[in-house]
Structure 1
Amino acid sequence: MDFAFDETQEDLRQAVRGFLADAASESETRRAMQTATGYDGAVWRRMGAELGLQGLAVPEEYGGAGAGPVEVGLVMEEMGRALLCAPFLSSSVLATTALVRGDDEGARAELLPGLVSGDRVATLALTEDSARWDREGVALTARPAGDGWLLDGHKTFVLDGAAADTIITVAQAPEGIGLFLVEAGADGLTRTALPTLDPTRRQARLEYREVAARRLRTAGDGWDLVAVVLRHGVAALAAEQVGVASRALDMAVEYAKVRHQFGRAIGSFQAVKHLLADVLLEVESARAAAYAALLALQEDEDVPAATSLAKAFCSEACLKATESNIQVHGGIGFTWEHPAHLYFKRAKTSQLLFGDPDRHRELLAQAIGV
């Protein structure tokens, strides 16, 4: 695998970083996380109109750029550095992948242009009270009703579930797992925002009581598509974790240079040097793991092993980097006014999203036949 980024990819990184320096500054992030939806709709639409970020992985015939997982990962990494409040993971990765990799041309033609422009937000609803990310965790039922389907049950921990316009719901149909399109205003659907540790990424609980839905056509078993979507989500999240960890390390290094104790910068103390050197090693190793997973997706090689390895390693590296950032900052790192706690909270919730490191080490062992 070639880990070098080409000129176009580096240009994309710099364009996104420049945009987020203004649109996702610390003050803007704190403002956005207090809004009803958890993000700034104007910034979200600008991301589509000015940079085309929501359409990166969408084929050109639907208004997208036709780029691959690596480009999506570059964008996610920069969003992690900025701690952007936006439904990019839920809408532009999970939901978009379900539509693009599914077998429903009508749904693609109907929904993808709106997702690309930023005028529509979608999400994937999979987990329930068991908090499982596998087939056995799906208990919500779907039954035929005329030309459509009716859904009964619940979903929880749904990313941006209270703000999404379209919810791609994973349900147990009579013949197996299926994916169903539900509109936000559907009768019988109740959406409740959940109190979460991380205020920069919203989650919701959804209750379905005979909710009308359309089935998303898939080639074969619906769970096969869900598994593909989850692998794309895992790899994209790993890249975001690299961005979070990288920014936390930068913050710690910058502070260690200017904070003086006993007449010298604390960064000159051996204990601080060793701590930051260890974090640097973790961050760079996590970056290699994340982009190996993204390349595996792009080249369709050893995908289950690469994505689970990335999720397990990047989750722990990100948490270590954000914890160390707080440690280097000392007392001020524990205050609400300092952003260190926001990065730590994103790291902790991301560690659990799509399954914790232990779960992904188990999946990795299964993938390589151990």
Structure 2
Amino acid sequence: MRQTVDFTYDSEQNDLRDAVRALLDRAYGDSEQRRKVVAADPGFDEQTWARLAEMGVLGLPFAEEDGGMGAGPVEVAIVAEEVGRVLAPEPFVEAVVLAGGLVAAVGTAAQRSAVLGPLAEGGSVPAAALAEPRTRWSPAAAGVTATADGGTWRLTGVKEPVAAGARADVLVVSAVVDGGTALFLVRGDAEGLTRTGYRTHDGTRAAHLRLDGTPAELLGEGTADRTAEIEQVLARARIAYSHEAVGAMEAALRTTAGYLTTRKQFGVTLNKFQALTFRAADMYVSLELARSTALWASMVQAAGGDVVAAADRARLQTSRAGRHIGQEAIQLHGGIGVTAEYKVGHYTSRLTAIDHVLGDGDWALSRLAAGVGTYETVDPLGAPYTPPTTG
């Protein structure tokens, strides 16, 4: 029996989208305002961050007993898409979905209250320090080690890149313990911690972290390997990033379509040229396929399904669509598309950053291909598959 999937939002979800859109439009509806904000540290507007907290956005995915709103993945997806639509530089996915998600998944009740409560209230910005030099999107730690020192732990090694790492009040750091990977909380002002922040090509901020016997608090109880929990949270962050990419792609397409209907060549607007209209139509197809895949992945997450595989599918689709739409948006704008004063190039830059932050499309494709042998064979006409006989 054929099943249908309802991709429409309910009234509360529409209200959330409208409220977040109104706030972010006031903050970044003018691209010049965004350029001013990202030009100065910490790379985002602290007042906008506080207003998001007042709306309950920063506590959306966390349990009410931890100071959150108890909302689901679809609500997180709505916010992420609005962030991408105006290229808001606030570290929503980085702080809420990734760093906050790690604390929510692994931390004790006291740790969740201490970290997630201030985050939801806008008084703290956590960051996840998982990536290491010469590693490639692995949930396991390799170069940072943790050693017990009396009643505390001390971390040694390097983490880079750490999104929003220079601004973070608390860091969630992965480290090797007894051959496995454990998670630790490190205060931003801890001794032995050196943070070197820098601006990335898309205007956001990252940091190089050096830990030299830095005191840390073990996240959760016991030193069991946390690789599986980290993989799950990384998958949720990839899905959220897919929605942020959808918001950016939609804005890039809308800007391009507007340009084609106003810019004139040979006395007529560019949309009169059939070849250009076809290219814009192909961009729309890529956008809608990425949108439906990302929303499907959020629904899989909400239903408790295989979030890792769903995230890989969403990452692959948004990676391909982001590259297609970003490149075509610049091409259809001509020379103005690559200027710093025009926003199309900034959308493409952010889409490129999202594609690489937790694993690019080729990486997701290789993971999906590795498991293709486990899928059942399905006849396209609906008949049971009968293996051919031999002999």
TM-score band, normalised by the shorter chain?
Answer: over 0.9
Q: Does 1:207 align with 2:210?
A: yes
1: CA distance between counterparts of 2:58 and 2:373? 37
Instruction: State the match for 2:112 in structure 1.
Output: 108
Instruction: State the match for 1:302 in structure 2.
Output: 306
- For structure 2, the residue ranges without an aligned partner over 5 or more in a row are 375-391
- Contact 1:178–1:222 (CA under 8 A) maintained in structure 2: yes
1: CA distance between counterparts of 2:145 and 2:353? 28
Instruction: State the match for 1:193 in structure 2.
Output: 197
The alpha-carbon deviation at position 53 of structure 1 amounts to 0.8
Find the structure with the greater CA-based Rg: 2
- Which of 210, 228, 241 is the equivalent residue of 1:224? 228
Output one character per residue of 1:13-40: Cα deviation in whole Å (capped at 9) or x when no partner: 1111111110122122111101111111
- Contact 1:305–1:368 (CA under 8 A) maintained in structure 2: no
Distance 1:190 1:333, change over 3 A: same
2: CA distance between counterparts of 1:149 and 1:62? 25
- Contact 1:143–1:174 (CA under 8 A) maintained in structure 2: no
Q: What do you get for the CA RMSD once the two structures are aligned?
A: 1.4
Distance 1:234 1:367, change over 3 A: farther
Instruction: State the match for 1:177 in structure 2.
Output: 181
- For structure 1, the residue ranges without an aligned partner over 5 or more in a row are none
Output one character per residue of 1:96-155: Cα deviation in whole Å (capped at 9) or x when no partner: 111112241110111111000111000111111114221455221001011110000000
1: CA distance between counterparts of 2:372 and 2:70? 31
Instruction: State the match for 1:351 in structure 2.
Output: 355
- Which of 66, 70, 77 is the equivalent residue of 1:66? 70
2: CA distance between counterparts of 1:154 and 1:177? 15
Sequence identity of aligned pairs in percent?
36
The alpha-carbon deviation at position 218 of structure 1 amounts to 5.5
Output one character per residue of 1:45-82: Cα deviation in whole Å (capped at 9) or x when no partner: 11111x21101111112332110111101100010011
The number of residues matched between the two structures is 368
- Contact 1:124–1:158 (CA under 8 A) maintained in structure 2: yes
Instruction: State the match for 1:82 in structure 2.
Output: 86
1: CA distance between counterparts of 2:128 and 2:229? 12
2: CA distance between counterparts of 1:137 and 1:365? 25
If the length of structure 2 is used for normalisation, what is the TM-score? Answer: 0.91
- Which of 311, 333, 336 is the equivalent residue of 2:337? 333
- Which of 345, 361, 370 is the equivalent residue of 1:366? 370
2: CA distance between counterparts of 1:138 and 1:2? 42
2: CA distance between counterparts of 1:309 and 1:174? 33
- Contact 1:245–1:318 (CA under 8 A) maintained in structure 2: yes
If the length of structure 1 is used for normalisation, what is the TM-score? Answer: 0.96
